[in-house]
Structure formats: C-alpha cells, structure tokens
Structure 1
C-alpha cells in the first residue's frame, strides 16, 4: 500500500514531538479534558458506554500511547486493543500499559478479521486523515466492527481544512459521523454530544463524541 503524506508526517519527527507533548498520566489526562471541555474524558466515555459488558472487545485506531485505552481499562473494560502508526508511541505505550494489546500498524490496513471487534473507535485521529483517504480508513473500521463505530473528533458541519502548527494539509474538522453514514448508509446514529471548548482562546471551536451502530 502506498504511504500517504500524512502517514509520513506522523510517523516521523513531528509525530514523536506530538507524542512527547501529549503524553500524560491518568490524572493529567482527565484534568486536560476538564480544562478544555469542562468535564473529564472518563465522564464523556461513561455517557456512551453505559450498559456495555466489561468483556466488550474494543479497538482504538490511532491510539498513540494508549491513554484512552487506559481510561477504558480503569472503567472496567478488559478486552482492549490499539493500533498505532508511530513506532515511538507504541514503545512508550508498552512502558505505560499492562494487559492492553497495542501493535504498530496503519488504520488503512487493519490486521484483524472481519467483525472481530464489538467496537472500533478513534480519538482525534480522523481529523488528521486527508479527505481523499477517509473512505479507506472508514471502510476498514466498519469492516472490523461487528456492532459499533465510536468517535471523538474535531467538529464542524462542513469539512474544513485548518493550519496545524504552521503546517497545511494535516488537520481538518468535519461531521465525521455524517461522513461515515454517507459512506455506509446502514450505520445509524445512537448518540451524539457536542463539547464546546471552554478555553477563551479556542472560543467557537467544538469537539464531539458520536456512536454509530451497524444495522446490516
């Protein structure tokens, strides 16, 4: 498979700097979300996972060092997997996680059989995928899920490119749930919540969490 410009960007030095800049312990992770959105990621997750069995098999695509997976583990989930493009982040994840299956790989070619997971999710990953490449990663996520697609991404009603730390072509905001449904009409929306930034410097920006369910 041809490596994309974004894959090269994130697997290199910039990606390593991102990992170092955004690696937090559990308390710092929840505090970061409280400062930015007014509630913890643990609280956000709980609103979407209520009623799920602890044995629910969950795959996070683009898990970085596994902070979201550790949060889910602390919430009682025991069957957790992650795929991360950047080898540096995978090595750091192995140092900070236990009993979580994290491997190096690409979301464009997930090394799992069809419908292997109950849930396939992303957290701030689709926003860094070029629009022309979104169909491939979305298809792979849907292929590997038997039931749910779950996401937390930068929200905008229309797909919009925005600069990222002085770089162009590496960050977009969109209604990713709607894009999933356009690509896969059998997906139905179970839940969606918008989370406006509380930081004045981010005024007007919104992230959101969504849960889609396969109906066919």
Structure 2
C-alpha cells in the first residue's frame, strides 16, 4: 500500500467517514452552502444526455453518497470501489441495488472497457503526484467512453496542508493531467465551481468530462 492508502485505510479515514456521512438532503445542503448549487444540479449539467442504463463506476466511493445521488437521477447500473472497509460496510447499510466492493483504485478488478463511465469525487486530490499515473491509467483502462471527475482545482499541481498533515492533499488541473497521460482523451466539458466564500479562501473546484476517441 502507498503511504496515502495506509493513511486513509486507518483511523484517520474512519474519522473522515464519520464526519462526512450525510443523508441525501444534508448532502445537497452541504453543496448548496459551499458552492451555491446542489451536487445533483452539478451532476445533471454533465450527465443529462447519458443513458440511464449506462454502466458507471465511482473510484473511492466512500459511503456511496454520490452513487445514491446518481441513482435518484435514474441511473440503474452503478458500481463503487472503496479502499476503507469501514466505509464499505456503512455504504452497504445505506444503499440498495448498488454494487460496492472493497478494493484499490490502483488495481481495479474489472476488465478493459467494462464501464461506460468511470469517475472520482474528491479522490485524486489525495493521491501522491507520483502515483497519479497508476490510478488514472486504471480508470482509463476500465472505461469504454467517459472519464468524469470533481476535484480541487489549481492550474499547477500544488500541495495543501490537510488537518495538520503534509503529503496527503493536492490540487491540480486533473483533466489536463489525464490528457497528458492518455492523449486519446478529449475534453467534452469543464466547469469551475468557486466556493461561496471564495473571496476569503481563494479555493475553487472543477468538474470535468473527458471522452475517449
């Protein structure tokens, strides 16, 4: 396991899961308070035309909140991979008809092109830069058509202190990093979402959709 995987699989990861487990209404309220839009509204802006039977994998799904949101949008063929066993158990308690398994994004247990879309939500930001090619390569390998993400944004790769820890959080232009590694990807859509308190924090996130040629 990488240093980051060990970090998230242990007590720190469990505390994160406990802090960030929300019901559907709280989940949308959290996004509305921080970005002025619900996550459901953000997702709909990118996936409105995707067939509802598309096979979707979320890498690093934690307790499955994003997958539950997609299920409420009508998507029926949903999968998640989560490193932390504690989060997987909570996900199974809180979801129905969603395939969630314990595993690593560095070794996705699926055949090439098995999914129509593979995505992350606030996961690549916790992957050390030297390890990004591994997880990105696995995501591209398993996707037949789309890579979709929602991550912290910066034009250049920047390390960010995280709850008193160094080496566990970064921000970057992740869509561009995907394209540098996999030139067959084209950028279909990208939207920056500044925080409501952006004037104070200076932070913004990005949602992007990449398509395989």
Q: TM-score category by the smaller chain?
A: over 0.9
Q: Which of 182, 186, 191 is residue 188 of structure 1 equivalent to?
A: 186
Q: Deviations along 1:62-90, whole A, 9 cap, x unmatched?
A: 00000000000000000000000000000
Instruction: Provide the rounded CA distance (Å) in 2 between the counterparts of 1:198 and 1:171.
Output: 21
Contact 1:19/1:64, CA 8 A, preserved across alignment: yes
Aligned position for 1:86? 84
1:146 equivalent in alignment to 2:166: no
Alpha carbons of structure 1 residues 15 and 201: separation in structure 2 relative to 1, 3 Å: farther
Instruction: Provide the rounded CA distance (Å) in 2 between the counterparts of 1:160 and 1:110.
Output: 27
User: What is the 5 A alignment of 1:132-211?
Assistant: 132-199=130-197, 203-211=201-209
Aligned position for 1:61? 59
Q: Which of 98, 102, 114 is residue 116 of structure 1 equivalent to?
A: 114
Structure 1 residue 201, shift from structure 2 partner: 7.9
Structure 1 residue 92, shift from structure 2 partner: 0.1
Alpha carbons of structure 1 residues 72 and 157: separation in structure 2 relative to 1, 3 Å: same
1:47 equivalent in alignment to 2:74: no
Gaps of 5+ in 2: none
Instruction: Provide the rounded CA distance (Å) in 1 between the counterparts of 2:145 and 2:198.
Output: 38
Instruction: Provide the rounded CA distance (Å) in 1 between the counterparts of 2:89 and 2:200.
Output: 32
Gaps of 5+ in 1: none
Q: Deviations along 1:12-70, whole A, 9 cap, x unmatched?
A: 00000000000000000000000000000000000000111110100000000000000
Aligned position for 1:19? 17
State the 4+ residue runs in structure 1 displaced beyond 3 angstroms: none
TM value normalised by structure 2: 0.99
Find the residue that maps to 2:70 and give its secondary structure: helix
Structure 1 residue 200, shift from structure 2 partner: 5.7
Aligned position for 1:77? 75
TM value normalised by structure 1: 0.97
Instruction: Provide the rounded CA distance (Å) in 2 between the counterparts of 1:24 and 1:155.
Output: 24
Instruction: Provide the rounded CA distance (Å) in 2 between the counterparts of 1:199 and 1:169.
Output: 25
Structure 1 residue 202, shift from structure 2 partner: 5.3
Find the residue that maps to 1:137 and give its secondary structure: helix
Q: Which of 199, 204, 212 is residue 210 of structure 2 equivalent to?
A: 212
Instruction: Provide the rounded CA distance (Å) in 1 between the counterparts of 2:188 and 2:48.
Output: 12
